[in-house]
Amino acid sequence: MRKYGLCFTATILLAVICCSLAATFTNDWVVRLKEGADPDVVAELHNFENLGQLHEDKLDDVYHFRHKELEKRHSVHRRDVTELLNQHEMILSSEQDEVLQIVKRNKREERYNDPIWKDEWFLNSEDSGSYSGYEYNINVQPVWDQGFNGSGVVVCVIDDGVEISHKDLAGNFDQLASYDLQDDDNDPSPRYASGEPNRHGTRCAGEIAGIRNNHVCGVGVAHACNIGGIRILDGPVTRIMESKALGFNIGYVDIFSASWGPPDNGKAMDGPKGITAQVIEEAMKTGRGGKGTIYVWAGGNGGKNDDCNADGYQTMRYSVSINAVGLNGDTPYYAEPCASALASTFSSGFVHSIATTDIHGECTKSHSGTSAAAPIASGIIALALQANPDLTWRDVQHIIIRAAVPDKLFHHEGWVRNAANRATHTNFGYGILDAFRMVEIAKNWTNVDPDHRCQSPQLTYNRAIPAHDSITIEIPFDGCDDTDNSVKSLEHVYLELSLKTPRRGDISIDMVSPSGTEMRLISTRMFDNDNVGFRNWRLMTVFLFGENPDGLWRVKINNSGKYTAQLETMFLDVFGTVNAPIETDVSLQKSDDKTVCDTLCGLAEHAYYDSANRCQKCNNVVEIDVKRRNELKNGF
Ligand SMILES: *[C@@H]1O[C@H](CO)[C@@H](O)[C@H](O)[C@H]1NC(C)=O
Ligand SMILES: *[C@@H]1O[C@H](CO)[C@@H](O)[C@H](O)[C@H]1NC(C)=O
Ligand SMILES: *[C@@H]1O[C@H](CO)[C@@H](O)[C@H](O)[C@H]1NC(C)=O
Ligand SMILES: [Ca+2]
Ligand SMILES: [Ca+2]
Ligand SMILES: [Ca+2]
């Protein structure tokens, strides 16, 4: 019985929905009476209510009648009722009211004819209005409107192949930036197979270099750049192959975009070594005419159980580590905490993924993971290099931290402001990379001074860290003051350590800079059962750019496991300059708006930063932050 009952209800429901969807007529009539007729009497006679005259100042004797029994909305045109009305001697004419099929006029045509352009919500808001949350985007349209398109910049996607015949890519394809390391030939096209495991590289390439306004798929961030592909990930990868990929034609390629790394299983702790590390060093010295090759790296998809500081590709200071943020500013479930992440761009979150090219000449709306975020950053950097080809690899990083905007992510807990007045977050780096700011700052950027390197003494501690306990080590540091290596304005900070532990995943490490900026260098990793520990592992942070390293550093090592661990050696290895970079003043837009500021202060636990990273004191939060900083200066 119950089953029938349900069925019945469902049928009625369907019928109701069906009719309401189709409803076009109402229970209202427009009735024109003869002069001298009594509208109330006529209405009553036909089972209507008289709602009064329509347009009384312009028209005589036109009335609005409402039927007393008919539904407010229905699909049937009641000509019978109209006919009856019209037969009445005092009625000249009548017509049933209907729901008009009209839509709001779009403000204007979509800008481009590319079929998935409107699905590329992460590029610009205007034509993707159907996605709520579309105010989260990389703000690239103003850059394109100035004529920047990546032209002349060479980007190479190191991945599982790039479909070079794809109509949205072929016109930008660059053979000189391409190779197939799996088959040892010049054609980096992917291998097609059941389940199509090799669509990743083509999707990444489309985000960077998809041709604009060609009726095919979408629009790449740098839609007129040269795009190449290295096919490497479809099969076993040796270190020699990896070194060939990362060193491919380094005199020619400007940007390598890499969306891969050690397994994101929360156990791996590995990075580029040997010949690969040597090749990368060489690229930084000789690539781009001595200004250094740009390596853009996806932050990793290991989620809360992994940490990008266990990934040596992220921790090498040469790589631009990019994390992901979703539509609406979500933290994607796969995001890894990362003190070496410079900034974030968009990828799949709880709702929409990334629209881009796909293999077999197709398009997709479901590219995802930090894999999809890094290529967007590669495209933005290509635009910046077009605007100013003289930028070194370090200039690019300096500009990224200034171009990243944290404002729209302040609803997340965990922002920390460094002493150079910039907000940082282990999920987002310095915020969402803004293409307009990137290019504006790039245009008139003054090259930073050559970098200095300064290390603290490589001390042997041999200190036990008991189970369920922590130790704090103080590292006095003078930043190599009064020497040729003097660092007064930080860039990258490494903490190198050797630490024995029966279970590496139980260890977390936090650090406080002399200015009192606290950051997590590595989190506990529940799956990391490694029993060797950290062997000269280099944890890295980019969150201290601009701080002075001179003073007392504190490192807290927490052992949340049941075995005693042993700290052996540890030291700081910092890079930076004596003089701080010359700031480029970029005019602010929305963020100077006081209402925006007030809203953000309401959301933010910490002070509000405008887009030039100027601390806005719209609340007392600034003082709170200073208090916390002073507490930290005195210890954890
Ligand atoms: C890209 O920009 C360059 C320089 O402004 C211009 O010459 C070229 O025509 C543009 N290409 C495309 C495809 O828009
Ligand atoms: C560019 O930078 C120089 C030196 O830093 C400065 O004097 C000049 O005003 C800047 N130009 C613009 C247009 O911002
Ligand atoms: C150490 O880590 C554990 C587990 O994450 C945590 O509960 C504890 O508060 C930490 N201890 C210290 C001293 O930070
Ligand atoms: Ca091939
Ligand atoms: Ca296109
Ligand atoms: Ca990882």
**What is the per-residue pLDDT across 148-202, written as a single tens digit (0 to 9) for each?**
999 999 999 999 999 999 999 999 999 999 999 999 999 999 999 999 999 999 9
Does pLDDT of 613 surpass 60? no
pLDDT tier at 624, thresholds 50, 70, 90: very low
What region, left, alpha or beta, does residue 411 occupy, with left being phi > 0 and alpha being psi -120 to 50 degrees? alpha
Does pLDDT of 103 surpass 80? no
Which CATH architecture does the domain made up of 24-99 adopt? 2-Layer Sandwich (3.30)
Question: How many angstroms is it from 94 CA to the middle of ligand 6?
Answer: 72
How far apart CA 374 and CA 413 sit, in angstroms, is 24
C-beta 444 within 6 A of ligand 2:
yes
Q: Which ligand sits closest to the CA of 168?
A: 5
Percent of the chain having pLDDT more than 70? Answer: 86
What is the pLDDT, as a whole number, of residue 102?
Answer: 66
What is the pLDDT, as a whole number, of residue 578?
Answer: 97
Residue with the two structure tokens 């389940």: 195
State the first-to-last Cα distance of the chain, in angstroms, to the nearest integer. 68
Q: Which residues surround ligand 5, an ion (CB under 5 A)?
A: 114, 168, 210-211, 214, 216-217
**Substitution candidate for ligand 1 out of 111, 112, 151 with most atoms within 8 A of CB:** 151
**Substitution candidate for ligand 1 out of 112, 149, 211, 385 with most atoms within 8 A of CB:** 149
Question: How many angstroms is it from 168 CA to the middle of ligand 5?
Answer: 5
pLDDT tier at 11, thresholds 50, 70, 90: very low
Q: Which ligand sits closest to the CA of 582?
A: 2
Mean pLDDT lowest among 109-118, 236-245, 455-464, 470-479 = 109-118
Residue with the two structure tokens 């004419």: 93
Mean pLDDT lowest among 4-18, 49-63, 152-166, 216-230 = 4-18
Atom 2 of ligand 2 has which residue's CA nearest to it? 444
Question: How many angstroms is it from 321 CA to the middle of ligand 6?
Answer: 11
Atom 10 of ligand 2 has which residue's CA nearest to it? 444
The residue-averaged pLDDT of 289-299 equals 96
Q: Which ligand sits closest to the CA of 214?
A: 5
What is the pLDDT, as a whole number, of residue 329?
Answer: 87
Ligand 3 atom closest to residue 556's alpha carbon, by position in its atom list: 14
How far apart CA 375 and CA 225 sit, in angstroms, is 13
Which of 540, 547, 317 is CA-nearest to residue 417?
A: 547
pLDDT tier at 10, thresholds 50, 70, 90: very low
Q: Are strands 489-500 and 534-541 parallel, antiparallel or unpaired?
A: antiparallel
pLDDT tens digits for range 210-266: 999 999 999 999 999 999 999 999 999 999 999 999 999 999 999 999 988 888 899
Does pLDDT of 614 surpass 80? no
Question: How many angstroms is it from 150 CA to the middle of ligand 1?
Answer: 8
How far apart CA 54 and CA 72 sit, in angstroms, is 19
Longest dimension (CA), the chain: 110
Question: In what helix (H) or strand (E) does residue 365 lie, and over which residues does it extend?
Answer: strand 363-367
Q: Where in the chain is the domain with CATH 3.40.50.200?
A: 141-443
Atom 2 of ligand 3 has which residue's CA nearest to it? 560
- Mean pLDDT over the full length of the chain: 87
452-577 has which CATH code?
Answer: 2.60.120.260
Question: How many angstroms is it from 324 CA to the middle of ligand 6?
Answer: 13
What is the pLDDT, as a whole number, of residue 130?
Answer: 62
Give 1 or 416, the one with higher predicted confidence. Answer: 416
Does pLDDT of 354 surpass 80? yes
Highest mean predicted confidence (pLDDT) among 129-133, 571-575, 619-623: 571-575
Mean pLDDT lowest among 105-114, 246-255, 583-592 = 583-592
What is the pLDDT, as a whole number, of residue 110?
Answer: 80
C-beta 446 within 6 A of ligand 2:
yes
Q: In a 10 Å sphere around its CB, with 0-12 CB exposed, 13-18 middle and 19+ buried, how is residue 201 labelled?
A: buried
What region, left, alpha or beta, does residue 558 occupy, with left being phi > 0 and alpha being psi -120 to 50 degrees? beta
Which amino acid, 633?
K
Does pLDDT of 54 surpass 70? yes
Q: Which residues surround ligand 4, an ion (CB under 5 A)?
A: 180, 183, 185, 187
Does pLDDT of 367 surpass 50? yes
Which residues are known to be catalytic? Answer: 159, 200, 371
Q: Which ligand sits closest to the CA of 160?
A: 4
What is the tally of helices (H) and strands (E) in the chain?
13, 29
Q: Where in the chain is the domain with CATH 3.30.70?
A: 24-99
Question: How many angstroms is it from 180 CA to the middle of ligand 4?
Answer: 5
Where are the extended beta strands (E) located within 73-153?
Answer: 73-74, 91-98
pLDDT tier at 351, thresholds 50, 70, 90: confident
CB 452 within 8 A of CB 486: yes
- Phi, psi angle pair for 185, to nearest 5°: -140, 180
Show the ligand 1 pocket: residues with CB < 6 angstroms.
Answer: 147, 149, 151, 224
The residue-averaged pLDDT of 614-625 equals 45
The residue-averaged pLDDT of 370-399 equals 97
Question: How many angstroms is it from 352 CA to the middle of ligand 4?
Answer: 33
Question: How many angstroms is it from 575 CA to the middle of ligand 6?
Answer: 24
Question: In a 3-state reduction of DSSP, which class is residue 208?
Answer: helix
Atom 5 of ligand 3 has which residue's CA nearest to it? 560
Which amino acid, 142?
P
Atom 14 of ligand 3 has which residue's CA nearest to it? 558
Does pLDDT of 513 surpass 70? yes
How far apart CA 179 and CA 165 sit, in angstroms, is 15
How far apart CA 499 and CA 309 sit, in angstroms, is 15
Q: Are strands 404-405 and 432-433 parallel, antiparallel or unpaired?
A: antiparallel
CB 276 within 8 A of CB 239: yes
141-443 has which CATH code?
Answer: 3.40.50.200
Distance of CA 335 to the CA centre of its chain: 11
How far apart CA 224 and CA 210 sit, in angstroms, is 8
Rg (C-alpha) for the chain, rounded Å, is: 32
Question: In a 3-state reduction of DSSP, which class is residue 595?
Answer: helix
Give 23 or 493, the one with higher predicted confidence. Answer: 493
Atom 4 of ligand 3 has which residue's CA nearest to it? 560
Show the ligand 3 pocket: residues with CB < 6 angstroms.
Answer: 470, 524, 558, 560
Which of 49, 188, 136 is CA-nearest to residue 431?
A: 136
Atom 13 of ligand 3 has which residue's CA nearest to it? 470
Percent of the chain having pLDDT more than 90? Answer: 70
Q: Where in the chain is the domain with CATH 2.60.120.260?
A: 452-577
Give 25 or 309, the one with higher predicted confidence. Answer: 309
pLDDT tens digits for range 328-346: 888 888 989 999 999 999 9
Within 8 A by CB and 6+ apart from 56, the residues are none
